[in-house]
Structure 1
């Protein structure tokens, strides 16, 4: 990620969205509407308290469109100690999707979100990078829609 810090550091995870949040006022105008709404939601990076913070959500499903429409859906289940509900992110116009597994943390049963970062893309779309406890996801798309609820 370019601005967000989300790394394994000395036996624990180090996460910090500060640099991204400092850049977000400059970046927001170049983000597509759905991505802008999700990235600028006041609870998105409220690690300490918000039930709408992405930190600690658990990756629950990846669904590809089979008709070459460029659709992709990622489902995240709530962390029972933090979230009231899960999150579904629906991507449109996907031109790239990758998951890179590190397989370095074998004691965790699921991949949980550390933090994410949404940046404008040169073609008017965006990239969404999600750091997980044992992997990272990268999506390049036209836009995305994030909806809280369900996937519990």
Structure 2
């Protein structure tokens, strides 16, 4: 990631979206509408916010072909201690992607933070997990939050 910092310290994991949040007012002007809306949501990087991406777990990944266009859809499951909704991100007109997750599957793919940057093709979204990353470059993305089944709430 260019701005968001994810690291390991002797005390544990260090997460710092500060440099990205400082640059976001300028960057967002060049993001497509869906990416801009998702990136600038006030709760996106608020660690105590219900719509913060931190601690979501990757539930599924699907490739969708429509003629010459390829879309990718990622679904994320909520963490009942923090979230009330699941998240689905659909990338339209994907031009490039890289999936670097552990070989034992997506079950342990817990989101640390993400970063969305402008790209000549639209936007570039990188998601950092406890272990691994997913990056997608596409024309735009649509993020949808859907009510989750949280038995404790």
Q: Normalising by structure 1, what TM-score?
A: 0.89
1:135 corresponds to which residue?
132
Partner of 1:10: 10
- 1:63-82 equivalences under 5 Å are 63-67=62-66, 68-82=68-82
Q: Larger strand proportion, structure 1 or 2?
A: 2
Unpaired segments of 5 or more residues in structure 1? Answer: none
Whole-angstrom distance in 2 between the partners of 1:94 and 1:150:
27
Whole-Å separation in 2 of the counterparts to 1:113 and 1:11: 19
User: What is the TM-score when the length of structure 2 is the normalising length?
Assistant: 0.89
Give the ranges of 4+ consecutive aligned residues of structure 1 lying more than 4 Å apart after TM superposition.
Answer: none
Tell me the equivalent position of 1:149.
146
Partner of 2:58: 59
Q: Is the 8 A contact 1:87 1:146 kept in 2?
A: yes
Q: Which residue of 2 aligns with 1:44?
A: 44
Stretches of structure 2 lacking an aligned partner (at least 5 in a row): none
Cα RMSD after superposing both structures? 2.0
Count of paired positions: 147
Structure 1 residues 151 and 74: alpha-carbon distance in aligned structure 2, compared to 1, 3 A threshold: farther
Q: Tell me if the contact between 2:84 and 2:147 (Cα under 8 Å) persists in the aligned partners.
A: no
